[in-house]
Structure 1
Amino acid sequence: MLTIESTQPLKIDNCSQEEIINYFQNSWQIEDILFKSLIENETFYLNPDPLRNALIFYLGHSAVFYINKFVNVGLLDKDKRINSEYEIMFEIGVDPETPEELEEATSKRKWPHVEEVWQYRDKAYQVILDVIKNMPLNLPIHQNHPLWSLMMSIEHQRIHIETSSMLFRQLPTDKLKRPQYWQYAPSNSNFPDNEMILVSGGMITLGKAEDFPTYGWDSEYGTLQIEVKQFLASKYMITNGEFLEFVKDGGYENQEYWDKESWDWKQQYQVKQPKFWIPEDESYQYRTIFEEIDLPLDFPVEVNHYEAMAYCHWKGKGMRLMTEAEWNLAAYGAGTNGNSPEQYNIGNYNLNFKFGSPSPVGELATAESPSGLYDLRGNVWEWIKDEFKPLPGFKTHHLYRRLRRRCHRRLRRCGGRSSGQRRPSARRRRHP
């Protein structure tokens, strides 16, 4: 079966120029494939999520990010900029609290023609490729190395492949077409019994080693040792089938399962089921990125933090989300923090576009962690209990300083299926 393939992450202490070029080209190609799934130019001017920019912003954003970072570190002279207007317009995204705030921030912005942004991308691609070919490759590529800007730009682009796909998922289905070879995981419509597994306690270390041989975001670094007590956790991620029981039991109508903030959110947006469930008669359809299909009961449910917490309260008996420390213990075992290179056996998990969708929980026998829990790496992101806080020793990287914002975030763990890494960089900030 032909599929879209994603190149494995670079080892920045031992990579060749050819490997860097391949990794860059693969990232660029996948983003191209995704955006070319939009059928009409007019679609690029829609913002399917009321808290995000129009889609045309994301068409230009990744390319501009490369160019601006190259200028920042001297890999590209300022007079070699491609389009200074674009390199301001498409540089920094938005993170509003309300749609009204977004409207106020962008109401005077006039987007260029789609064809012109594609032309900019083509020019940027060639500039980036020329920089890679002409830059001396002195290994390792560390945080103060000029090519760190390239590694940052590639990983940033891969993040946006995933986040853009979630925006596409909110478009009407007649606005896009599934690309050739974009394969969904098969579902057998039955979901497994989800027994509780005892996870033995132990000492774990949070934080990515400074000399770890893959790229890391600044929020990954620092060190914190934590003693974790034993705990019980579900063998599998919560499935659509399990969450359907919560919905049918009136979970979205019972205020006792929701705190004030989450109930206010639910009431404001009139939420009655997970975002990508579409009511149909007495059942639900499921929105993939490109189409509507029958609800795959064995796929992990995709909800926000509010909904995840409400489900835990509905289950009762002290049910809650795992902490970051517990998650790391379950994923890797005591005495580790996921920093061993042998942890990155990508083929064992729903990573790197093994599928272009979530996959049934526990379907991949190789996705079992040492604790006996499944899918802690790959498949979908998982919510955990902790709020986002920097680790001791954290330092903001100078190339990312302008993009930091003061904001309240929850932590999610586990690498997305479009990325090759399940890494401590899962310590990324996301909306609840």
Structure 2
Amino acid sequence: MATQEAVAHDLKTLTGRLHQAREETDALFRIVRPEAVYDRPIPERHRIIFYHGHLEAFDWNLLSGPCGLVSTQPELDRLFAFGIDPIDGQLPADTPRDWPQPEQVEAYKQRVRTALDGALEQVPNPELLLNVAIEHRLMHAETLAYMFHQMPFERKVQRTVRRILDAGAWTPAVANVPAGPATLGLRRDGGVFGWCNEFEEQTVPVPAFRIDRYKVSNGQFLQFLEAGGYDNRALWSDADWAWKAEHGIAQPAFWVARGGEWCYRSMFDELPLPPNWPVYVSHAEASAYARWQGKRLPTEPEWQRAAEGSAVRHNEPPRDVWDPSPVNTGSEQVAGLFGNGWEWTSTQFAPLPGFRAYPFYPGYSSDFFDGQHYVLKGGSVRTAASMLRGSFRNWFQPRYQYVYAGFRCVGLED
């Protein structure tokens, strides 16, 4: 049984991490100019003002009960409670008038933080609940980053940028991964934090396979585009082709055509398309490219098997890094699996055996076990270090282009 001193130390560490996470999201919101707070940078997502309130409402709805607190603004607790995940093109139709004024949201934020900070010692299970609050906020820090990425530059406050454009010559290569076990998830009795979909640990056999040593780069994907890949009906599923046709999808969302040349839209500027950076695309686009190559996307177990022994970043990303590194950064047999862009898999998001939803957040995973979301692994340059763990399972709809997500391919069986 933990001593009082140990519990107090854990609580101090966790509250310190929570305050750091708040600083991270506060810094991100300062990128947005005041006149842009009601913008909706991505059609499928809420307006920016929602996220100002959502992070605090989530913490309040999660922690206020265990802390013995009573709400003074239940209408805002409800308004900011849930994000959206539109299916079948059902986009939000709200207007700026449907949301409170920024000063109201700021006052709500401060009240929530003050009330919670004065009562966190009352939380009966701080290791679990505070880790949920911290990682939820850090997930949204990455969401905010890729949302703000899509905003016009003049709607943002410029920041210093640090980037690596070239890491030397490289040649596409294939890694042979021998047959063996892949371990998915975590042991529930392992004493480490995980989200509900990371439990229970499962070991599965994986046959030998061949996987790209490097992520698919912008330069490689450009060859697909120039070969007519977006117009080749045979490369796309029926649903993906219909989506592409309806929305006029003809290039990655991060690419911009300028004077007959392709440019890359970074957070604060445009630059000539970096051919060695990983391409960011939807699952639909990644799948079409893989078919064009006569390959396929890896399954989650294959990705996990390829990641065995790979280096995982343990420090937080510098705040002035917004772009990936070249795909050939790293010396592992399968390079760049963690922290240089999420990687799509062909595995639909579903529970591992022994899954149990957290009773305080029952819909976190189970609402998306619908056959319409795919697992991503690995993390991006904007993913917090705590979530760069092999067991972490991200998921998105297959026709969502805006995530910092790339892919690598697996060769078809002989």
TM-score range, shorter chain: 0.7 to 0.9
- The TM-score with structure 2 as length reference comes to 0.86
Residue type matched to 2:27 in 1?
Answer: I
The corresponding residue for 1:9 is none
- 1:75 matched to 2:36? The reply is no
Alignment of 1:221-236 (within 5 A): 221-236=199-214
Superposition TM-score, scaled by structure 1 size: 0.83
Instruction: Return the alpha-carbon distance in structure 1 between the equivalents of residues 287 and 347 of structure 2.
Output: 12
What does 1:2-17 align with in structure 2 at a 5 Å threshold? 16-17=10-11
1:294, CA displacement in angstroms? 2.1
| Counterpart amino acid of residue 84 in structure 1 | P
Q: Helix, strand or coil for the counterpart of 2:257?
A: strand
Q: 2:48 aligns with which of 32, 47, 55?
A: 55
Partner of 1:328: 304
Alpha-carbon distance, 1:50 to partner: 1.3
1:282-361 matches, within 5 Å, as: 282-316=260-294, 319-332=295-308, 346-347=314-315, 351=317, 355-361=321-327
CA distance in 2, matches of 1:188, 1:277: 18
Superposed CA offset, 1:83-141 (max 9, x none)? 211101000111222554522xx469720011221222222222333234x347x8xxx
Distance of 2:146 and 2:97 partners within structure 1: 23
Corresponding letter in the other structure for 1:241: G
- Bigger shift: 260-269 or 219-228? 219-228
Q: C-alpha offsets along residues 146-167 of structure 1, whole Å, 9 cap, x if unaligned?
A: 5522211110000001111111
Aligned with 2:395: secondary structure?
Answer: strand
Q: Give distance in 1, aligned partners of 2:329 and 2:281.
A: 21
Partner of residue 379, structure 2: 415
User: Partner of 1:167 in structure 2?
Assistant: 147
Bigger CA drift: 20-29 or 60-69?
20-29
1:117 aligns with 2:105: yes
SS at match of 2:243: helix
Aligned counterpart for 2:32 among listed residues 14, 33, 38: 38
SS in 2 for 1:241: helix
Runs of 5+ unmatched residues, structure 1: 1-11, 139-144
What code does the residue aligned with 1:131 have?
Answer: A
Specify whether residues 388 and 242 from structure 1 end up closer, same or farther in structure 2 by C-alpha distance, changes over 3 A only: same
Give deviations 1:393-431, integer Å, cap 9, x for gaps: 001111111455254211101123331132255323312
Tell me the number of residue pairs that the alignment of Structure 1 and Structure 2 aligns. 388
Counterparts in 2 of 1:98 and 1:113: CA distance versus 1, 3 Å: farther
- Is the contact between residue 313 and residue 338 of structure 2 (CA under 8 Å) also seen in structure 1? no
Runs (5+) with no aligned partner, structure 2: 1-5, 399-414
Give the structure 1 partner of residue 393 of structure 2.
Answer: 427
Equivalent residue runs for 1:77-156 within 5 Å: 77-78=69-70, 81-98=71-88, 100-103=90-93, 106=94, 110-132=98-120, 134-135=121-122, 145-156=125-136
Q: Give yes or no for the alignment of 1:405 onto 2:367.
A: yes
One-letter identity of the residue aligned with 1:414 = G
Greater displacement, 285-294 / 52-61: 285-294
Matches within 5 A, 1:190-339: 192-316=170-294, 319-332=295-308
Residue equivalent to 2:350: 389
TM-aligned CA deviation for residue 14 of structure 1: 11
Question: Residue deviations 1:315-350, cap 9 Å, x none?
Answer: 12xx111111111111016xxxx9xxxx75525xx9
Query: Could you tell me the percent identity over the aligned residues?
Result: 29
After superposition, the C-alpha distances for 1:10-31 in whole angstroms (9 at most, x for unaligned) are: xx99963432232111111111
* CA–CA separation in structure 1 for the residues paired with 2:96 and 2:155: 26
Give the Cα separation in 1 of the matches to 2:330 and 2:205.
30
